[in-house]
């Protein structure tokens, strides 16, 4: 039975990719439990399965077998629209390459998940400005991504991940494209979000970044090591 | 996702590639434009012909050589004689007036002015009483005694008098029809009407006997009958048939009323309108394929964006709507521009030739352009909505 103490509970999750008749086992019997307010770093070399695990946790992919409880609900059998809704409300994504929409201002980028949540324009713009202000980007509100530094862009992306106030933040190599100082800033933000109660899952291959998390999960060949 | 946000997104995408959007829109503009213009020309010809025919009068009918349903073949048959026309007149006393008609193109000449495309109409003195739309400007139509005397008299059509005498009163002058000289006894006023190639102002009228000897024939082209009232039409037709059947068989002649002629011609012009509209619709189809093509490019270019939107919570239907609206916007914009240009062009053509803008062609053209946007936008939009967010996010 699912335990409501856990925000994320993954049981015996396996992911097998089939291509041209060849089976690749990306994840092999993963078990994982996270409580609210946890800060987990998933590490491993490329091909270890950490991205696949991230996609499954992020509801972008479904496991081949096993179950996934999110907030005590089995989401393994959810259809696409239900998953989209959950991604929108419960998860915030931060990507290595920022993934901001070009030709779109910072504040509008931040608003994007709120648009899909159906929040009225005035309300979401106000929320977005507050978030940008907290991240020290108020002056960049009307700038477009190509007018901002990498660090600024990643902070815009973090604001975007926060706009629907999700309980979980998924960060996939968030410092990977940043210089040391900006990388430190981003980690500082993630840590303070964690202090304020957000559950953070961080994917990284850098040991010193992983060390800043409360827990570390090391993947090798699709298994927890 | 609300419609305002969707509109903003689509407009931004369209304006991001101005030249590309313009060229795609142009395809729809051309398609809609040609539908409206070609259909307008078609219906213009239609209403022009109908007015021309009804201007002849609703109580007029014609007896043509050749059997029923033999509209054009009748021109080739020759079996109506002058005698038939006279017999018909005798049996229509008090019911209607009759004139034979033998028209043919001929060269006419006044001094050193030559007109090569004029028609010569061999008719009887009763012609103005039968075709009442013909009014005299100068002089009189030739009389019964002038016709019977065999004197070479001629009545000029308006345009002929314009060319030969610059609209001056030319009664008493002499002109040549072919090799024979005729004295002008009257000039007709402008009728402003034409029947096919038979311009009723570009004609000269001579007594039918003169025309027969001039053209070397003992036949006539048709008998024109005008009933004294519309109510007498059925009786007149019956009498004419009975009279003619004494000498001829049913296959030798046919009776055409203004209505039946206009019906026949309307059928022809309707087919013409449809054919023109069909050709134009093909160009709209090509425009639609252009929209589909550019939308596929747009989806491919924005694969990452689609992946991101899905990761952030966009449902399939959100993505579908976004791309569908984009293609509909392109098509509708093209449709509206095409309609505006098409109406403008049709109005200009209406001044030079004939053309009538029909509301239904505008509605159909607009409806088609919306439909094109939906149909040709559907496949790319579905493709976009089905993209897997992980793969889309990885796409470079």
CA distances B82 to A171, B123, B212, B270, B327, Å, are 104, 10, 9, 36, 69
Return d(Cα B160, Cα A171) in angstroms, integer: 93
Place of tokens 């966009």: B314
In B, minimum Cα distance to A92 occurs at: B312
For residue B388, give how far its alpha carbon lies from the nearest alpha carbon of chain A (Å): 8
Domain-embedded: residue B315: yes
Coil, helix or strand at residue B109: strand
Give the pLDDT band (50/70/90) at residue B347: confident
Residue B181 and residue B273 in one domain: no
Backbone region of residue A56 per phi and psi (left: phi > 0; alpha: psi in -120 to 50; beta: other values): alpha
Q: Does B274 lie in the same domain as B344?
A: yes
Helix (H, G, I), strand (E, B) or coil at B106: strand
Is the domain of B203 the same as that of B281? no
CB pairs under 8 A between A and B: 55
Are B68 and B241 in contact by the 8 Å Cβ rule? The answer is no
Alpha helices in A91-169 (DSSP H): 106-116, 121-134, 150-162
Max Cα-Cα span within chain A: 53
Look at residue B153 and tell me if it is in a domain: yes
The B residues from 15 to 44 touching A (CB cutoff 8 Å) are: 16
Compare CB distances from B313 to A61, A84, A101 and report the shortest one's residue.
Answer: A84
| Partners of B372 in beta bridges | none
From CA A33, how far away is CA A5, in angstroms rounded? 10
Q: Are A53 and A2 in contact (CB under 8 A)?
A: no
Nearest to B205 by CA among B249, B251, B146: B146
**Minimal CA–CA distance to B102: which of B84, B116, B122, B83?**
B122
Tens of pLDDT, residues B122-167: 999 999 988 887 889 999 999 999 999 989 999 999 999 999 999 9
Do B218 and B108 share a structural domain?
yes
Q: Which residues in chain A have their CB less than 8 angstroms from residue B315's CB?
A: 80-81, 84-85, 116
Task: Please tell me the total count of domains within chain B.
Answer: 2
Residues B123 and B216 placed together within one structural domain of the fold: yes
Average pLDDT score over chain B? 87
Last residue of a domain, one of B173, B207, B227: B227
List Cβ<8 Å contacts ≥24 apart for B339-344: B339/B32, B339/B36, B339/B365, B339/B366, B341/B29, B341/B33, B342/B32, B342/B33, B342/B34, B342/B35, B342/B36, B342/B37, B342/B40, B343/B36
- With beta carbons under 8 A apart, name residues in chain A contacting B310: 84
Closest-CA residue of chain A to B13: A103
Distance CA B4, CA B322 (A): 11
> Is there a domain that residue B221 lies in?
yes
Residues B200 and B313 reside in one and the same domain: no
- Residue B291, in any domain of the structure: yes
| Residue B246 domain flag | no
In this structure, are B313 and B360 located in the same domain?
A: yes
- Interface check for B309 against chain A (CB to CB < 8 A): the answer is yes
DSSP label at residue B166? T
Q: Are B273 and B42 in contact (CB under 8 A)?
A: yes
Asked whether residue A107 carries a pLDDT value surpassing 60, the answer given is: yes
Domain boundary among B172, B205, B227: B227
Query: Which pLDDT does position B197 carry in this prediction?
Result: 47
Of the candidates B200, B227, B254, which is a domain's last residue?
A: B227
B222 and B278, same domain (yes or no): no
Residue B210 within any structural domain of the chain:
yes
B194 has a pLDDT exceeding 80? no
B239 lies in some domain: no
Q: Which residues form the domain of B325? A: 3-51+264-394
Nearest CA to A98 out of B250, B304, B329, B90 is that of B304
Tens of pLDDT, residue by residue over A161-188, are 999 999 999 999 999 889 999 999 999 9
Task: Report the pLDDT value the prediction gives residue B144, as an integer from 0 to 100.
Answer: 93
* Pair B214, B204: CB distance under 8 Å: no
Are B279 and B351 found together in one domain?
A: yes
Q: Are residues B286 and B388 in the same domain?
A: yes
B contacts of A160 (beta carbons < 8 Å) = 312
The overall average pLDDT reported for chain A is 92
CB proximity A15 to B under 8 Å: no
Residue B168 resides in a domain? yes
Q: Are residues B17 and B111 in the same domain?
A: no
pLDDT at B201 over 90: no
Confidence of residue B323 (pLDDT cuts 50, 70, 90): very high
């Amino acid at each position: 039975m699912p335990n409501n103490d856990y925000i994320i509970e993954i049981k015996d999750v396996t992911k097998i990719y089939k291509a041209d008749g060849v089976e690749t086992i990306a994840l092999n019997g993963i078990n994982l439990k996270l409580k609210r307010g946890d800060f987990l770093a998933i590490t491993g070399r490329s091909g270890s399965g950490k991205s696949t695990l991230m996609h499954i946790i992020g509801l972008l992919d479904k496991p081949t077998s096993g179950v996934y409880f999110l907030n005590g609900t089995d989401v393994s059998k959810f259809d696409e629209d239900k998953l989209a809704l959950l991604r929108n409300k419960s998860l915030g994504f931060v990507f290595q390459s920022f993934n901001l929409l070009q030709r779109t201002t910072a504040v509008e980028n931040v608003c994007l998940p709120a648009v899909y949540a159906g929040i009225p324009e005035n309300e979401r713009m106000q929320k977005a400005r507050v978030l940008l202000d907290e991240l020290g980007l108020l002056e960049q509100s009307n700038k477009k991504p190509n007018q901002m530094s990498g660090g600024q862009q990643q902070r815009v992306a973090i604001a975007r991940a926060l706009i629907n106030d999700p309980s979980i933040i998924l960060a996939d190599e968030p410092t990977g494209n940043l210089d040391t100082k900006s990388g430190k800033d981003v980690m500082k933000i993630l840590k303070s979000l964690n202090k304020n109660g957000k559950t953070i899952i961080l994917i990284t291959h850098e040991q010193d970044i992983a060390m800043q998390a409360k827990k570390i999960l090391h993947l090798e060949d699709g298994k927890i090591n | 996702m609300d419609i305002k946000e969707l509109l903003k997104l689509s407009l931004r995408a369209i304006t991001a590639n101005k030249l590309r959007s313009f060229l795609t829109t142009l395809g729809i503009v051309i398609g809609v434009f040609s539908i409206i213009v070609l259909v307008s020309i078609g219906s213009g010809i239609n209403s022009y012909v109908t007015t021309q025919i009804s201007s002849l009068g609703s109580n007029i009918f014609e007896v043509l050589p050749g059997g029923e349903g033999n509209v054009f073949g009748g021109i080739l048959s020759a079996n109506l004689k002058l005698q038939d026309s006279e017999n018909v007149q005798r049996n229509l006393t008090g019911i209607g007036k009759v004139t034979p008609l033998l028209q043919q193109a001929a060269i006419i000449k006044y001094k050193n002015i030559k007109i090569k495309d004029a028609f010569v109409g061999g008719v009887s003195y009763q012609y103005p009483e039968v075709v009442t739309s013909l009014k005299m400007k100068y002089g009189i139509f030739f009389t019964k005694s002038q016709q019977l005397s065999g004197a070479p008299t001629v009545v000029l059509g308006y345009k002929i008098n314009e060319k030969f005498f610059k609209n001056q009163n030319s009664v008493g002058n002499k002109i040549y029809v072919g090799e024979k000289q005729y004295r002008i006894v009257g000039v007709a006023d402008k009728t402003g009407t034409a029947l096919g190639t038979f311009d009723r102002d570009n004609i000269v009228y001579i007594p039918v006997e003169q025309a027969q000897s001039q053209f070397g024939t003992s036949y006539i082209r048709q008998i024109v009958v005008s009933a004294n009232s519309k109510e007498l039409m059925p009786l007149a037709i019956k009498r004419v048939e009975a009279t003619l059947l004494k000498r001829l068989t049913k296959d030798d002649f046919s009776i055409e009323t203004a209505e039946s002629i206009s019906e026949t011609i309307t059928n022809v012009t309707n087919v013409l309108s449809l054919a023109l509209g069909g050709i134009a619709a093909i160009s709209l189809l090509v425009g639609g394929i252009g929209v589909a093509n550019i939308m596929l490019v747009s989806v491919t270019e924005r694969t990452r964006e689609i992946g991101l939107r899905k990761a952030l919570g966009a449902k399939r239907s959100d993505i579908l709507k976004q791309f569908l609206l984009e293609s509909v916007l392109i098509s509708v914009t093209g449709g509206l521009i095409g309609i505006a240009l098409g109406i403008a062009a049709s109005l200009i053509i209406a001044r030079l030739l004939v053309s009538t803008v029909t509301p239904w062609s505008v509605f159909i053209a607009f409806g088609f352009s919306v439909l094109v946007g939906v149909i040709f936008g559907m496949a790319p939009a579905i493709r976009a909505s089905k993209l897997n967010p992980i793969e889309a996010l990885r796409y470079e």
